[in-house]
């Protein structure tokens, strides 16, 4: 079986996943599963995020929100490149929007999703040369030895070498504006490194 066929088969299985249907139905948003991700046999760069938001759930495209606009600015690419699966893979910690709680805040990504699908998924995209982790949940999964460190410690170190190198980023949400203002080195030191790697790989 070709690698592309393996990717297609696994993608169909993930798209059909109904494991969290009851969980999502019980949230304030009372929504159905709608896995949102993009992979191919050619992309060499992978964005590992948290989980789709409501806008991504509705559009079926990852990062279709202000966080996505900021992320693309950080990466130094436009939507044409970002949404081209042959140039960029996007693999969240949980493939579906987890819903809102009673205070209209995003619920955390269900851990079941990563256990069910993430290892299988990365097995069918072995060509990935760099994983850019967005947020603490993705950082914790890809860099388990770093769980005890602060976001500042992790991000300031730049690329972490390994079987697949990882470049950790904070989440581009407005909730991190205070952190970004308090750490100007992120823009002066980390973003040029990020954009250089993106230009090399996409």
Q: What residues contact 160, with CB distance under 8 A and at least 6 apart?
A: 143, 146, 166, 167, 168
Residue spans of the domains in the chain: they are 3-201
CATH domain 3-201 topology: Uracil-DNA Glycosylase, subunit E (3.40.470)
pTM: 0.94
| Residuewise pLDDT in 10s, the chain (202 residues) | 578 899 999 999 999 999 999 999 999 999 999 999 999 999 999 999 999 999 999 999 999 999 999 999 999 999 999 999 999 999 999 999 999 988 888 898 999 999 999 999 999 999 999 999 998 889 999 999 988 899 999 999 999 999 999 999 999 999 899 999 999 999 999 999 999 999 999 9
C-alpha 107: how far from its chain's center?
Answer: 16
């Amino acid at each position: 079986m070709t690698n592309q066929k393996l990717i297609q088969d696994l993608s169909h299985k993930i798209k059909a996943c109904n494991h969290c249907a009851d969980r999502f139905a019980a949230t304030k948003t009372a929504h159905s599963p709608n896995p949102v991700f993009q992979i191919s046999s050619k992309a060499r760069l992978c964005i590992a995020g948290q989980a789709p938001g409501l806008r991504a759930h509705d559009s079926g495209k990852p990062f279709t929100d202000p966080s996505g606009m900021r992320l693309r600015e950080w990466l130094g690419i436009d939507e044409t490149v970002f949404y081209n699966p042959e140039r960029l893979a996007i693999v969240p910690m949980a493939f579906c929007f987890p819903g809102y709680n009673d205070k209209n805040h995003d619920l955390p990504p269900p851990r079941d999703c990563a256990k069910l699908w993430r290892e299988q998924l990365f097995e069918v995209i072995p060509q990935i040369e760099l994983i850019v982790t967005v947020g603490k949940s993705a950082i914790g999964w890809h860099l388990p030895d770093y769980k005890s460190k602060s976001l500042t410690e992790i991000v300031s170190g730049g690329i972490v070498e390994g079987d697949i190198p990882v470049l950790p980023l904070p989440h581009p949400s407005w909730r991190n504006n205070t952190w970004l203002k308090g750490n100007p080195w992120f823009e002066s030191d980390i973003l040029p490194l990020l954009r250089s790697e993106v230009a090399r790989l996409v």
